[in-house]
Every structure is written in C-alpha cells, then in structure tokens.
Amino acid sequence: MKDGIPLEIDVVEASASKIGSVDFDNLIFGNIFTDHMMVCDYVNGEWQAPSIQPYGPIQLEPSAKVFHYGQAIFEGMKAFKDDEDQVWLFRPEANFERFNRSSKRLAIPEFPKDMFFEGLETLLNLDREWIKKGFGNSLYIRPFVIATEPGVSASPSKTYKFMIICSPAKAYYSGEVRVVFAEKFSRAADGGVGYAKAAGNYGAQFYPTNLAKEEGFQQIVWTDANTHEYLEEAGTMNIFFRVGNKLITAPTSDRILDGVTRKSVITLAEEFNIPVEVRRVKVQEIVEAAEKGELKEIFGAGTAATINPVKGFGHAGKKFELPEQEDSYASFFKSKLMAIQYNKTEDKFGWRYAVKER
C-alpha cells in the first residue's frame, strides 16, 4: 500500500518450475534458487515500480559502478513454514531498517518500506512451495542492491538495481566449528563500514579466513583494529562467550554488525534470568578463563546459522578445546528461537510476521 493505494507489482511467472529437480534433503547452502526474483530499478532520482520475474541472469555494462567502486549492500532473512502451512518471517522490520542503514552508509538511496514488504510477500507467495515444513528447513532470503550506472568516475552511481532472490536452506554449518582470534588482520575500523552489510566487508575477509582454514579453523573472531586486544564478531556471526554461568558479548559499534539474532539472544537471556553482559571483551580474559576451566561455551548467532556452537579456539599459537555442556546455552537459545520461528510457542515479543496467502 502507498497512500492507501495498493502497489502495482508486475508479475511474470516462470514457464515451468524447477522445484521437482531439487533434492531438499541434501541442500548446499546458497547454491539453489527458487523460480522467481524481485527486481526494482532506481532511475531519474526515484525507485520505479517493482516487478517479479523468473529467476535468471541480469545484464550490466562492464563499466557499471558496482564493479569499480563496490557500491553494493545486502541483507539475510529467513521464511519458515509451520505445521498448518502458514509462512512466517522473523523480525523482518529489523532487517529492513538495517538494509537502509547500510544503504545510507554506502550513499545508496534508501528503499521504500511499502515496496520492500509488498514485493517480498508477493515473491514468497509465488514460491511458497519452496518453503518446507519441519525444524531446520527454511527459505533463505537475500535482498540486495547494486550500483548500475555506467562510468568509471569515482562518484556515487545515479542508477541502482534492487533485487530479492531466495534459496531453500537447511543448516548453514555442518560439522564442528573452531575459530581463531585475529592477531594481524582486521575486519573493520572506527569510522568505517563495519556496521553495514556492505559486500566489500565480506570479500575483504576471505583471504585471512583462507589462512585460518589452512590452520584447521573454520572462522576468525575479529579483534579491534587498533590493538587486537578486544574480541568483536566472527566472520558471519556475532559471537557470545559463556564464562561460568554468565553470558558476555561485545557491544555494537561502527565496527560491529547489529545482528538480529544477537539482539534476540540478549532479550531471551534477560527473559529467562540468564546473566548477560554487553561490554568489551578482552582476548586475554577469554584465554585465561579457558586456562582456568571457567570458559564453558562460545557460540555464534546469525540469520544463516541461527545459533552455532564453537568447539574450540586458537590464539597466539595455542589451541583450546571447550568441554561438552549438558546445560548448553547454545542449545537452549536455539530451541527457544526456533520454537518462535516455527510457530511452536507463544511469541510474547511480537517477532513473528505472518505472510498472508493471496
């Protein structure tokens, strides 16, 4: 709706669905995409009418500014289906707000809320059969925007393309995850774009992450760029530490992404009287807690992974393994979050968003 008038979304359906060829029991995260995508262009100073089209390639000029100056941001969301075939989103307004914060930081025009939600719901209804029931099944939703203006002058683009593509998903990580605390490389610096979901943030971390993988680690927990003394966030997740029965996580800043799952974990911890401290976390504090046997858990929190336990970590050439916990906070928070996401329990926080059938 815009000014009380329904938005007109042009829908061109795929001639045939490819869903029959997909093995939903053996999905690789982010490799298979649904039949349709949402597309909207920014031209002449405004966002044009959005459309739904069959999923497929797009055409860009080699001089498009996204290739030369990296004007590109994205979001990660999920849709879930309950036992009654109702489709739900989890805190989508928080994702939308962060999408526009990221856009603003990259000098990209903010996207209208009515277009975002109307287009997203139209797309999800069209590809509703791709959302499978059952814990662990979901549809990963990737909204993004790229600069499309031809030209290599170092200035913001005058044209952009907003899109949403969707991918059926199971667990993001399979197998055990171990992390290394960064000592040399940095993800973000004060005054930078660390808080935005800018494409370049992720591209820049691939090289040091590859080095970490050669040492047997799956991810890096980034430290502050100035001193490397404080732990901040992991490559694709915000990070939590359980010392004794206390939960600790770093505060958000212009270096750290304001994760939706992170915020939800903090709220749940407070609801269930689990001590939680949001403060700067020293590397040495966590190393010493591990040496004393006081570090019970590390886990990551993010849209793709939900909650992902960390089995061990490395720092300064030393490796530490974490003990198995019968009363795992990671399992507790994951079960509470999934119960809300799949409509298995009361949603007292108002986090669920129903996608109405059309």
Share of the chain above pLDDT 70, in %: 97
Q: Collapsing DSSP states into helix, strand and coil, what is residue 180?
A: strand
Given 111, 138, 169, which residue is the final one in a domain?
169
**pTM of the complete model:** 0.95
How far apart (Å, rounded) are the C-alpha atoms in residues 329 and 318? 25
Q: Is the pLDDT of residue 331 over 50?
A: yes
| Pair 156, 239 in one domain | no
Segment 215-229 mean pLDDT: 96
| Integer CA distances (angstroms), 213 to 18, 179, 241, in order | 35, 9, 22
Report if residue 347 sits inside a domain.
no
| Pair 139, 22 in one domain | yes
pLDDT for 6: 58
| Pair 88, 57 in one domain | yes
How many Cα atoms sit within 13 Å of 285 on the Cβ side? Answer: 14
Digit-coded pLDDT (tens) for 260-313? 999 999 999 999 999 999 999 999 999 999 999 999 999 999 998 899 999 999
Given 105, 136, 169, which residue is the final one in a domain?
169
| Pair 38, 14 in one domain | yes
How many Cα atoms sit within 13 Å of 25 on the Cβ side? Answer: 0
Q: Quick check: 194 and 257 in contact, CB under 8 A?
A: yes
| Pair 246, 311 in one domain | yes
DSSP-assigned beta bridge partners for residue 342: none
Q: Is the pLDDT of residue 1 over 50?
A: no
| Pair 210, 142 in one domain | no
Given 151, 169, 187, which residue is the final one in a domain?
169
| Integer CA distances (angstroms), 256 to 99, 110, 199, 239, 311, in order | 15, 21, 15, 11, 23
The residue segments making up the domain with residue 27 are 10-169
Report if residue 237 sits inside a domain.
yes
Digit-coded pLDDT (tens) for 140-192? 999 999 999 999 999 999 999 999 999 999 876 667 899 999 999 999 999 99
Q: How many CB atoms lie within 10 A of CB 275?
A: 13
Digit-coded pLDDT (tens) for 182-218? 999 999 999 999 999 999 999 999 999 999 999 999 9
Closest C-alpha to 305, from 34, 76, 9, 134: 76
Report if residue 304 sits inside a domain.
yes
Q: CATH no. for residue 222?
A: 3.20.10.10
Q: Is the pLDDT of residue 7 over 70?
A: yes
| Pair 124, 216 in one domain | no
| Pair 158, 233 in one domain | no
Q: Quick check: 247 and 276 in contact, CB under 8 A?
A: yes
| Pair 309, 218 in one domain | yes
Q: Is the pLDDT of residue 4 over 60?
A: no
How far apart (Å, rounded) are the C-alpha atoms in residues 210 and 208? 5
Give the total number of structural domains in the chain.
2
Handedness of CA 85, 133, 26, 322 (dihedral sign): positive
Q: How many CB atoms lie within 10 A of CB 130?
A: 23
Handedness of CA 213, 219, 222, 228 (dihedral sign): negative
67: enclosing H helix or E strand = helix 65-69
pLDDT for 236: 85
Report if residue 353 sits inside a domain.
no
Report if residue 82 sits inside a domain.
yes
Report if residue 123 sits inside a domain.
yes
| Pair 122, 164 in one domain | yes
Q: CATH no. for residue 89?
A: 3.30.470.10
| Pair 242, 121 in one domain | no
How far apart (Å, rounded) are the C-alpha atoms in residues 323 and 326? 10
Closest C-alpha to 330, from 294, 293, 305, 304: 305
47: enclosing H helix or E strand = strand 46-47
| Pair 132, 220 in one domain | no
Report if residue 268 sits inside a domain.
yes
Report if residue 45 sits inside a domain.
yes
Segment 29-38 mean pLDDT: 97
